[in-house]
Amino acid sequence: MGNNGLTVYGRALRRAADILGGKEGLRAALHVPLARLEEWLEGQSDPPMDIFLKAVDIISAPVQNPPPPAAMRARVLAQQSARRIRKSHHTIGTSHERVVCFLQQAFDKEPRDAMLESALEAAIDVTHAQKGNVQLKTEEGLRIVVQRGFPGQFLEYFACVTSAHGAACGTALNSGAQVVVGDVATDPIFAGTEAARVMEEASARAVQSTPLVSPEGNILGMLSTHFDHPHRPSESELAIVDQIARRAAFWLEPPKA
């Protein structure tokens, strides 16, 4: 099925149908009438947000062909996150509302930066962070495209980060998995680096960095939140950030012809 002219909703449903072997398999997975599903697949109307999220989660599941090691680690993390979600119903119940709010805002807006700003705000809210940023991957490295709360020196120093840099985002880029630094002053990632000094001056004493991984396993960028005191987000909070990152990555991925 071609995707030209379809909204992000239609693209998600068509890709999910391809993964499940056709629209009948998708209908069974989504528990919706076939007639309604066909309307959504043809772009005649948009599905409800909960149906759309289910389709994105189908797309984000592990693929049959083995992905690169980094992507595999990221997908394992996503599976672990799903289990954490099921074990933390009360916390997730509140956080899920925030995620849905972010998604509703994000997918209703066309500009890329508006969507990424919504994703960052949701991640900051969920992790109770004081600041954060979103980087997109370029040929040179990770470049900050949206941020909250950082001074100019921080933005200049971390303007382009590679996997070789002593930073949480660079480490996450190299591993393809979420990285949490509970205390920048003592963590080996930052030990003896200029990055540690810049983080301290920016009152970034702790950080989590979560890769934006496409359904094909490609790292498209990084979503990081920072704290002004030594801190580790809870497992349920990190699971929600992973959800936000995976779904933002789907939005960022260019449509296929």
- Tens digit of pLDDT for each residue in 155-203? 999 999 987 777 999 999 999 999 999 999 999 999 889 999 999 999 9
Between β-strands 142-148 and 131-137, what pairing exists: parallel, antiparallel or unpaired?
antiparallel
The Cα–Cα gap between 209 and 134 comes to 9
8 A C-beta contact, residue 75 and residue 217:
yes
Q: What confidence score (pLDDT) does residue 149 get?
A: 94
Supply angle C-alpha 57, 226, 223, rounded to 5: 30
**Which of 218, 14, 42, 8 lies closest to 115 in space, CA to CA?**
8
Q: Which pTM value belongs to this model?
A: 0.70
What does the DSSP 8-state code read for residue 6?
A: -
User: Would you say domain 69-252 falls under CATH 3.30.2040.10?
Assistant: no
Residue 20 and residue 40: Cα distance in Å, rounded? 16
Contact at 8 Å (CB) between 135 and 127? no
Least confident of 127-141, 156-170, 224-238: 156-170
Provide the sign of the torsion angle of the four alpha carbons 25, 99, 79, 177, taken in this order: positive
SS3 (DSSP) at 10: helix
Q: What pLDDT is attached to residue 56?
A: 79
Average pLDDT, the chain: 80
Q: Which residues pair with 225 in a beta bridge?
A: 132, 208
Q: Are 127 and 233 in contact (CB under 8 A)?
A: yes
What number is the average pLDDT over the span 10-18?
A: 86
CA angle in degrees (0–180, nearest 5) for 220-221-224: 155
Encoding tokens for residue 189?
């990632």
pLDDT of residue 78: 42
